[in-house]
Structure 1
Amino acid sequence: MCVSTGLCAGRQYHLISEEKNFAEAQSYCREKYTDLATIDSMEDVETLNRTAETAGVSSIAWIGLYKTWGWSLSDTSFYKHGEEEFRGWEPGQPDNYGDCTEIYPDGGWHDYRCTYKEQAVCCDSLSQSTGLQEKELICTQLHGDFSFMLTFIKKHQTAEKNIQTQKNSNIKFASMLCVMLPLHSSSLDLFSELDVTFVLTDDSMTWTEAQSYCREHHTDLASVRNQAENQKVQELVQAAGVDFVWIGLFRDSWKWSDGSNSSFRRWLPGQPDNKKGMEACAAADFRSSGRWVDLNCNSRRAFICYGPAPKTSSKQVFRLRLRSSVDPNDPAVMEAMLKQFKQKLKAQGVNDDVTLSFRKQPV
């Protein structure tokens, strides 16, 4: 049930007393209104506080702020179009049990508490390990021997499966291919295979410890950009005989449900605290002047939607005296006069949605 509304800065807030989890509240607001509430300023905060006070609400209600998923390896040049958004979640995942991601032997992803210790998958990004000058030099030196180089790399890959012992060699060959791609389209598939290699750590560690380890000894925690790479990591997990391992996907930055880029924040002191690593959605606490707290997204709370503010209208009456022989009751004359008035109002900056009409003065 919608218990109260409030107007602010071009939007109207709707406080919904029926308790839902964050995802349910988001769906409800998008269906019935525009989205969960975006809050841009203290004016918005004060409007919501008045709305809650009028409705007699002194509890917690969802707003549209929540944490999003992103890769530990944040360099956008590493990802082709759409690859940064690839996800391999199992059905029902993520279920807000944590802010870090693990992959299972069946290739499915689960969110889990980042403080749990388990093995991790690092990645070696060959395409990021060699500078442009080195690539150009190698290309110049071996331009005439491309076919030989291609054959040698294939044999090299077959004979040497452990990328760690031959990393520098593979980087050099991958660099050759990278420079030669415009001239030799046949190298595309091979270069894609050499572009990244996945390595399973020997030791168990927290997600943050795994991130530090992978950045020190490799490139970063594994980014899984497509189904083919997910298959490679899955095979690595299966071969190791472990139940789950960390990959590089984690939940960190806050964003608004409607995509707004507002940077306004009004957290309660000590918030957000991500209690037990399981709090990724924000709510306004009207027991504390509407300041915000982070909560588990599965919690059931009241929530605040917003929609467009209703248009306001006003009426102004002007007296008009005609000094002409024209008949003011003639519909054609009245229409011509109204058109001229509207043009003059537009020239004065009045919007087109103004409505003009005549009202006869009683005799």
Structure 2
Amino acid sequence: MTWTAAQRYCRQKYTDLATIDNMDEMKRLITTVNGTYSGSAWIGLYDDVNSWRWSLEDNDFYQEGERDFRNWYHEPDNYGGKQLCVYMDYTGNWFDISCDNTLPFICYDVNATQSFIKINNGTNWAEAHRYCRDHYTDLVNIRNQTENQRILETAGGGVWIGLYRNRIWSNGQNTNYEDWRPALPYSPQQPDNGYGQWSIPQCTAF
């Protein structure tokens, strides 16, 4: 079946496609099918490459349409299937890159006169997000072109912003556990983004 058909079948007959939260559950899944099936099988993990959202979820922060403001430059392309976070470059354009990169970042403080604060100590995206929430309001969330320009003037570019996305499970749960196949001869490490098919959701098999 296709992934969508498999999802529909599992929801009609059972609960949903398999969700795997840790290595023990992965081992149980392998044991369940061992000796009965030797190919690949769908699980519930998928990557909606159009699911970008801002880290600050307060509805009062946004006016109509402001959640959807983007300033991409020939992006996002999800190169290599691992680009789930966003940075602003030195021209004010946005690019998706791996969240494990190390960059300075911009925090937003709703209570301060100077609402945009650049932190020059480079971290990955998750650590930048945590720092901004611990010390200010959040990583900067950009609502329009005017704010984009102000942040560029404050930061000079090359910084994390609060736009990101997650891979999720069929039941809507965010993923905290992934067990991707390493690189093999004549086969790239996973996920590999379907060899450039970045504009459509990517589904997962084991």
TM norm structure 2: 0.62
| 1:232 match: secondary structure | helix
1:120/1:275 CA distance change after superposition, 3 Å = farther
After TM superposition, give the deviation of residue 43 of structure 1 in Å. 6.2
* Matching residue's letter, 1:102: Y
Residue aligning to 2:84 = 99
Matched-pair contact (CA < 8 Å) for 2:75–2:96: no
Residue aligning to 1:232 = 150
1:37/1:92 CA distance change after superposition, 3 Å = same
Q: Does 1:263 align with 2:171?
A: yes
Tell me the distance in 2 between the aligned counterparts of 1:295 and 1:254: 14
| 2:164 match: secondary structure | strand
Question: Map of 1:202-213 to 2, 5 A cutoff?
Answer: 202-213=120-131
Identify the structure with the greater helix proportion.
1
Matched-pair contact (CA < 8 Å) for 2:75–2:94: no
| 1:231 match: secondary structure | helix
Matched-pair contact (CA < 8 Å) for 2:92–2:149: yes
Provide Cα deviations, 1:184-231, integer angstroms capped at 9, x if missing partner.
xxxxxxxxxxxx821110311111111111112211100011111111
Number of paired residues? 162
Provide Cα deviations, 1:162-181, integer angstroms capped at 9, x if missing partner.
xxxxx3xx4xxxxxxxxxxx
| 1:204 match: secondary structure | strand
Q: Does 1:37 align with 2:22?
A: no
Residue aligning to 1:66 = 47
After TM superposition, give the deviation of residue 296 of structure 1 in Å. 3.8
Tell me the distance in 2 between the aligned counterparts of 1:263 and 1:220: 28
1:295/1:63 CA distance change after superposition, 3 Å = farther
Residue aligning to 1:289 = none
RMSD: 3.8
Matched-pair contact (CA < 8 Å) for 1:40–1:264: no
Tell me the distance in 1 between the aligned counterparts of 2:73 and 2:154: 18
After TM superposition, give the deviation of residue 119 of structure 1 in Å. 0.3
The match for 2:161 among 233, 236, 247 is 247
Matched-pair contact (CA < 8 Å) for 2:47–2:166: no
1:228/1:274 CA distance change after superposition, 3 Å = farther
- Share of identical aligned residues, percent? 29
* Matching residue's letter, 1:203: N
Q: Does 1:79 align with 2:62?
A: yes
Provide Cα deviations, 1:61-89, integer angstroms capped at 9, x if missing partner.
89994242211111122111111121111
1:300/1:95 CA distance change after superposition, 3 Å = closer
Question: Map of 1:191-206 to 2, 5 A cutoff?
Answer: 197-206=115-124
Tell me the distance in 1 between the aligned counterparts of 2:55 and 2:42: 31
Q: Does 1:223 align with 2:119?
A: no
Tell me the distance in 1 between the aligned counterparts of 2:161 and 2:139: 6
The structure with the larger Rg is: 1
After TM superposition, give the deviation of residue 275 of structure 1 in Å. 7.9
Tell me the distance in 1 between the aligned counterparts of 2:165 and 2:192: 13
Moved over 3 A (4+): 43-46, 58-65, 270-276, 298-301
Matched-pair contact (CA < 8 Å) for 1:99–1:112: yes
Tell me the distance in 1 between the aligned counterparts of 2:97 and 2:181: 13
Provide Cα deviations, 1:83-109, integer angstroms capped at 9, x if missing partner.
112111111424344211110011111
TM norm structure 1: 0.38
After TM superposition, give the deviation of residue 245 of structure 1 in Å. 0.7
